[in-house]
Structure 1
Amino acid sequence: MGFNSFQFILLFLPALLAGWYIFNRFEKFAVADVFLCLMSLYFYYSFGASFLVILLVSMAGNYLLSFFMDRISGKRVLKTVGVLFNLALLFYFKYLGFFVDNVNALTGGTLTARQILMPIGISFFTFGQISFIVDRANGKAPHYPVLKYVMYTVYFPKLIQGPIAFHEEMISQFEDKSLRRFDADNFAKGLMSFIIGLGKKAILADTLSKVVVYGFHYTYYLDTITVTLVMLAYTFQIYLDFSGYCDMASGVSLMLNYKLPVNFNSPYKAATPKELWQRWHMTLSRFFIRYVYIPLGGSRKGKIRTMINVLIVFALSGLWHGAGWTYICWGLMQGLLVVWDNLGIVGVKDKDGNKSGKFLFRKEPLLWIPHSLGNAFTFIMFVVSLVFFGSQNMTYAIQMFKQFFFFTYPGFLYKTSENMKLAENYLPRQLATQLHMSDGVMNIIYVTTFVIILLISAIVMTRKNTQEMVETLRRDGKTIAFLTLIFIWSFVSLSNVSTFIYFQF
């Protein structure tokens, strides 16, 4: 039952909102909290009963550790136990198979690991609880009442795909009684954000996924032009998929009067790789900065150590996204690009043409380039890095690079574009069939549809992001008509619903 499902939109969300505001209206705050927790647990249960058991075990283990931190000495030991407990759960369900495979490859062994179904969103709720345990041991977090801790952990808008919200920023809102009253302005903004996010996902991302899945499956058959378009489609799809989820999650939360931390801020507008990672999955970046980069020494132990720390963080970020060498290579490539930024060989001017930025090895770069050129370089390198991110394994990734750099044109673009058989181009297809037009005409229809979807996606990503739109859109007839059209179009498209990409992480 994802956000983009009939069950969620027609049943779960209306029931949740009605119950939440009715209980709070009569000041039954504890009952409202229990109701929200139970609904959140049911939301997670809809993905699998066994997943819910693992979530409950994780939550109970962390809460017990927090309980004992004020009752026995040795908080550092309990912090270590807590971090290891969380990482052990994550390792068992997400990385055990990858670890066994690599041990066998190195030793020639025949160890086996039984197939384990990874709980949805385990990386997100595990990192959230690691942050709590570390802060608790360091004296930066109290031992919260059990109900508030459960609310923080299972709060469904952030549970399965983030953002990785810290305990203090959510529990402080849960404890604020003034936020329990219905706020028409927040509700309207939340609804607008949800509809825009649903449109990004159902209309654009899911449409592009048809080509992306096909392209990565038939990598060996792709020609240079098709590889280029498939990679653009994947770059746009992953943006619209994750951005759409973030919009929907923040929208649902705002309907409840709670604000989630911003997790996505137009990353393709970035002019440097460093800036891109200040805009993409922002809560994951801040988690690694607070709990990995700074404890490793950050930038305090010399320039070489700083670069090594950056590479460690990005390698772990890649591994966080998936148990595979392709993800690690993707993370390291992004880390190297950030290190390149820090070297200060090339500087990027801001939009006004001003020279700005801090560099690790130089006070002044050897070369300054325009903002637009920096933006183009950052985008192109991100597209290239996604070859690793989207490929089945390293063999497929290398083959994808070969198909791109060694120019071929066997005409596989037409075969790939046939995946654009959509309801939106039904009439042109029917007309071509009735007039007995050649297959070439049908191919033109599919390729044209593909290119149009790419152009629309590019336009969406270069305009105002959803947060900016929600704050500036006038709530007049035109806006209502526009949002109604997007909602109906998206709702109809849910018959071809697919899961969000970040569910697997």
Structure 2
Amino acid sequence: MSFQSLSFLAFLALTAIACGLLRRRSALAGQAALGAACLIFYLSGGGWAAFAVLCAGCAVTALAARAVDRAEGAARRRAFAAGSLYHVAVLLAFKYTGFFTGGALSIGWAPLGLSFFTFQQLWLLREVYMGRFTLQSPWALALASFFFPTVTSGPILRPSAIFPQMASDAFLRPDWTDAAAGLYGICCGTAKKVLLADPLGAVVGSGWSDLASLSATDAWLVILGYTMQLYFDFSGYCDIAAGAARLLGVRLPLNFDSPYRSLSVGEFWKRWHMTLTTFLRENVYFPLGGSRRGAWRTYRNILIVYLVSGFWHGAGWTFLVWGALHGLAQIAERAWGSRRERLPGWLQWGLTFLFVNIAWVFFRAPSLGDALTLLTTAFTGGVSLPGAWLMQSVFERETAAVGLLVPTLESAWLAWGKMALLYGAACAAALLPARSAARRMEDFVPPPAWRTALLALAAGWAVLSFTGITTFIYSNF
């Protein structure tokens, strides 16, 4: 069930109402209603086979967590290792068999949300092993693992971020502030996805489908377009997920905090997909030794962390290169040290933003050769006016309406106008606000009337544009 659909909005409304009413009778009744809703949501998108795989994973986690709690010494370590290895093996089997066998063998499908599910189970097992968390019941584990706002694309939840909330009196009993913040997040996320991410995706798709026709100007529009598309796509998803969770009395952790305003790659990763960064730091970087064993081991650990991040995103060399680039960039920043901080702020930002744009090329590219082709065109191709053909499938209905109103308007000028508005709005929304929508939701204060009206207009436009909207990018990971 897609977040950007009328069926999801109706499903969410019915779920929130049913859970709230039944929660008044008893906590168990409200949780049962939520469990039924989570089951319906997952089966509508993942199917029974995928559901069975994740259920088996929940069972393994519950058994391993129980064994870790009861055992001591080597037996405790073996229980933790066995549970963790099971989850890693399932993830590798479904997502990476084709990569490791060169395409000779592949399962051909993977359960919806498997990557996020796996990291969440691993995090829980490590917290149990470290003595920071005790799993009270398999039912609570299943409810947290299949919580429908997060089950497909996260955020990745630390146990302390979800289980205490599920045991609190506020669970499934949102107040009016929660409801208002939830609606605000859903409206912001929907507008980001439908009005910015998907139109930018159409430009990017057109460019990647015909690399030979791109000029240097077109290549940079494609590169910048994907940078903005990916942010608004995943940030929009997280806003909707956070909004849906607030309607159920749950506050999800912040996952994005204006990452494109960062002055370094290290800062970028403190603002981009923050729950993934935290998971990798606590479950990969620290166990490797972190920065406690000298500079060279620190550099090695950083590189390993970002190779893992790249490989987690996708089974391909392009993702590994993307991860390696980010790891090497952070190593270079550490080696540069305080001398980098003496640069003007605008130059630090410019270097960071340029690097992030270039690295995203490998994240999007079908192959390393295509990535190098696009970058070669960007740096050596001819400069010209933007290709109007890139905007051909963007806001088609709106374009047709303008054409009827102003029949003498040339199609090229109309395309360039759309391009200027789209890229201008995307850059302004990503770079100017010091506080993201998710940050505003934390201590929500109703926005001024003019901003509320503008958001309502954007959300209404987005809802009217639901037909033909693409799926969220991160649901593929």
Quick one: which amino acid aligns to residue 4 of structure 1?
A: Q
State the shift of 1:307 in Å.
0.8
Query: In the TM superposition, what are the counterparts of 1:365-444 in structure 2 within 5 Å?
Result: 365=339, 368-408=342-382, 413-431=387-405, 434-435=407-408, 441-444=410-413
Which of 426, 433, 436 is equivalent to 1:465? 436
Q: Does 1:451 find its partner at 2:426?
A: no
Q: 1:231 to 1:248 in 2, by over 3 A?
A: same
Q: Structure 1 residues 366 and 69 mapped into 2: Cα distance closer, same or farther (>3 Å)? A: closer
Q: Does 1:496 align with 2:468?
A: yes
Partner of 1:156: helix, strand, or coil?
A: coil
Counting matched residue pairs gives 471
The 10-residue stretch of structure 1 (441-450 or 495-504) with the greater mean CA deviation from structure 2: 441-450
Are 1:228 and 2:202 an aligned pair?
no
Cα deviation for residue 289 of structure 1 reads 0.6
Q: Percent identity?
A: 30
Residue 56 of structure 1, CA deviation: 1.1
Equivalent position to 2:151, from 148, 159, 163: 159
Give the residue type in structure 1 aligned to 2:273.
H
Structure 1 residues 366-419: Cα deviation after superposition (integer angstroms, max 9, x where no partner) = 771121221111111100111101100111111112211222358781222223
Q: Matches of residues 185-264 of structure 1 in structure 2 within 5 Å?
A: 185-264=177-256
**Does the C-alpha gap of structure 1 residues 366 and 240 become closer, same or farther in structure 2, counting only changes over 3 Å?**
closer
CA separation of 1:327/1:366 partners in 2, compared to 1, >3 Å: closer, same or farther?
closer
Q: Secondary structure at the match of 2:55?
A: helix
SS of the counterpart of 2:150?
helix
SS of the equivalent of 2:290 reads coil
Matches within 5 A, 1:24-43: 24-26=23-25, 28-43=26-41
Higher mean C-alpha displacement, 247-256 vs 44-53: 44-53
The 1:86/1:147 distance shift into structure 2, 3 A limit, reads: same
1:208 Cα deviation after fit: 0.9
* Cα 1:244/1:152, change in 2 over 3 Å: same
Indicate the larger mover: 128-137 or 71-80.
Answer: 71-80
- Aligned to 1:268, what secondary structure does the other structure show? helix
- Alpha-carbon distance in structure 1 between the residues aligned to 2:389 and 2:171: 54
How far is 1:164 from its partner?
0.6
For 2:238 and 2:106, how far apart are their aligned partners in 1? 34
The separation in 1 between residues aligned to 2:383 and 2:405, in whole angstroms, is 29
- Which letter does structure 2 place at the counterpart of 1:56? C
Structure 1 regions of 5+ residues with no counterpart? Answer: 102-110, 346-358
Question: 1:422: how far off?
Answer: 2.3
1:420 is paired with a residue of what secondary structure?
A: coil
Q: What amino acid is aligned across from residue 342 of structure 2 in structure 1?
A: W
Q: Is residue 473–residue 479 contact of structure 1 (8 Å, CA) maintained in 2?
A: no
Alignment of 1:320-399 (within 5 A): 320-343=312-335, 345=336, 359=337, 364-365=338-339, 368-399=342-373
* 1:184 alignment counterpart: 176
| Preserved contact between residue 209 and residue 237 of structure 1 (Cα < 8 Å) | yes
CA contact (8 A) 2:95 2:110 kept: yes
Listed as ranges, the matches of 1:137-148 within 5 Å are 137-148=129-140
TM-score, length-scaled by structure 2:
0.94
Report the CA distance between 1:41 and its aligned residue: 2.0
Stretch of structure 1 that moved more, 483-492 or 411-420: 411-420
Q: Is the 8 A contact 1:98 1:324 kept in 2?
A: yes
**1:85 offset after TM fit, Å?**
0.3
**Partner of 2:44 in structure 1?**
46
Report what 2:67 is aligned to: 68
Q: 1:299 to 1:476 in 2, by over 3 A?
A: closer
Q: Is 2:460 aligned against 1:481?
A: no
Paired letter, 1:37:
G
Name the CA shift for 1:180/1:496 in 2 (closer, same or farther; >3 Å).
closer
Question: Which residue is 2:55 aligned to?
Answer: 56
CA distance in 1, matches of 2:404, 2:219: 29
Aligned to 1:355: none
Choose 323-332 or 40-49, whichever is displaced more. Answer: 40-49
How far 1:305 sits from its partner (Å)?
A: 0.6
State the AA in 1 paired with 2:398. E
> Shift of residue 115 of structure 1?
4.6
- Quick check: 461-470 or 87-96, which moved more? 461-470
RMSD, matched Cα: 1.9
Structure 2: unaligned runs, 5 residues or longer: none
Assess if the C-alpha contact under 8 Å between 1:273 and 1:334 holds in 2: yes
Distance in 1 separating the partners of 2:440 and 2:69: 46
Identify if the C-alpha distance between structure 1 residues 259 and 428 changes in structure 2 by more than 3 Å, giving closer, same or farther: same
SS at the partner of 1:496? coil
Aligned equivalents of 1:284, 1:316: Cα separation in 2 = 11
Structure 2 distance, partners of 1:417, 1:179, is: 46
Change (3 A) 1:177 1:329: same
